[in-house]
Structures are given as structure tokens and as C-alpha cells.
Amino acid sequence: MRYAPCVLILPMSDLITHIVANYNYWIYITLMMIGLYAIIAKNNLVKKIVGMNIFQTAIILFYISIGAKKGATIPIIEHAHGDHGAGSSAVHAIEYINPLPHVLMLTAIVVAVATLGVALALALKVYQQYNSLEEDEILDQIREK
């Protein structure tokens, strides 16, 4: 219990170092919250769709950032061909960024694009029916019937 207050109330400088050290997480959380806010609070259907896309992009950026390493390079092995010595063929994973999250995100990007397409198509259909994209106006029209 003695240590609890120290953990809860970080000194200002510690907090800043904490934020700076993990800035990628803070960026993705900020973006995610912007997206979530737009989906929940915006009245316009297309703004909601944009919010949804920001939300998806935040998670894609999160995945991309976890593959990164300090001082590492792109995962293409140099001199892999023609150099068959035991020492030179050993690959040090620390020197290369992790390509797996990036590959996963290629799939997630495809999914995001497909979702965006379907969402816009639906918004178009809604617009053709109600002649409006504002949610409150549409709900008014539905109630009047």
C-alpha cells in the first residue's frame, strides 16, 4: 500500500518520458478515440463512415508500429545469394524490422477498403430514399409515416 500513491501520481517529468517513450501507442489511441467519437456523435452518415475509417486506420497504424525496431532495417537479407558460409548466413533478427504485422495489415487494409465501399454504397441508397444524409432528418421522415 505504501507504494500505491507513487504509482498513481507520476511526477510530471516521468509522465512526459512515459508518453514520449510510447508515443506510437498514444497516437493510435488518440486516433481511435477521434474515430469512435465521430461514429457515436456525428449526425451525418458520411461523417460517421469517415470516423469508422479513422478508427480502422488507427488499428492498422498500431500494428505497423509494433513491427518497428530501433536501428533496424527493412527485412530483406543482404548478400543472401552466393554467400554460403555458415557465419554469413546467420540472420540476426534484431537487425530487421518484423515484417509479419505489416503483412497482416495488407489484409486488414483490403478489409477496410471493402467495408468503406459497402458503407458508401449503403449511404448512397439511404440518400436516394430519403434525399438526406443527416440522421435526425431521416428519423423525422420515418416517424412522420
Partner 1 sequence: MSSQYPALLVATPLLAALFISIAGWVYKKLCFPIAVVALSVATYASIGLLLRVLNEGVVHYRLGGWEPPWGIAYYVDHLNGLVLVVVCVVALLNLIGAKKSIDQDFPDKIGPFYTLYILMVTGLLGIVITGDAFNLYVLLEIAALTGYGLLAMGDKRAALSTLNYLYMGTIGACFYLLGVGYLYIVTGSLNMADIARILPPLYESKAVLAAFIICMVGVWLKMAFFPLHAWLPNAYTHAPSASSGLIAPLVTKVMIYVMIRLIFTVFTPEYAFNTLALSNAFVWLAAIAIVMGALFALAERNLKKMFSYIIISEVGYMVGGIWLGNRAGMTGAVLHILNDALMTLCLFLVASNIVYKIQGHSFDDLKGIFRKMPVTMGALVVGALSIIGVPPTCGFFSKWYLISGAVQAGQYGFVAALLFSSLVNVVLFFRVLEIAFFEPFGDHDGHGHTESIDEAPLSMLVPLLIVALGLVIVGVYTGDIVNLVIQFAIPREIL
Smaller CB distance to partner 1: residue 63 or 96? 63
Amino acid at 59: I
If one asks whether residue 75 binds partner 1 (CB under 8 A), the answer comes out as no
Q: Is 52 in the site for partner 1 (CB under 8 A)?
A: yes
Minimum CB–partner distance for residue 29 and partner 1 (Å): 10
Stretch touching partner 1 by CB under 8 A, among 15-23, 68-76, 79-87, 117-125: 117-125
Task: With residue 19 as reference, give the H or E element that holds it.
Answer: helix 12-21
Q: How many CB atoms lie within 10 A of CB 10?
A: 12
Whole-number Å distance between alpha carbons of 59 and 62: 5
Interface residue with partner 1 among 36, 44, 72, 134 (CB under 8 A) is 36
Nearest 5°: the CA angle 28, 51, 124 is 150
Cβ neighbours of residue 75 under 8 Å, at least 6 residues apart? 96, 97, 98, 99
Binding of partner 1 by 115 (CB under 8 A) = yes
Query: Which residues lie near partner 1 (CB under 8 A)?
Result: 36, 39, 45, 48, 52, 55-56, 59, 62-63, 66, 101, 104, 107-108, 111, 114-115, 118-119, 122-123, 125-126, 129-130, 138, 142
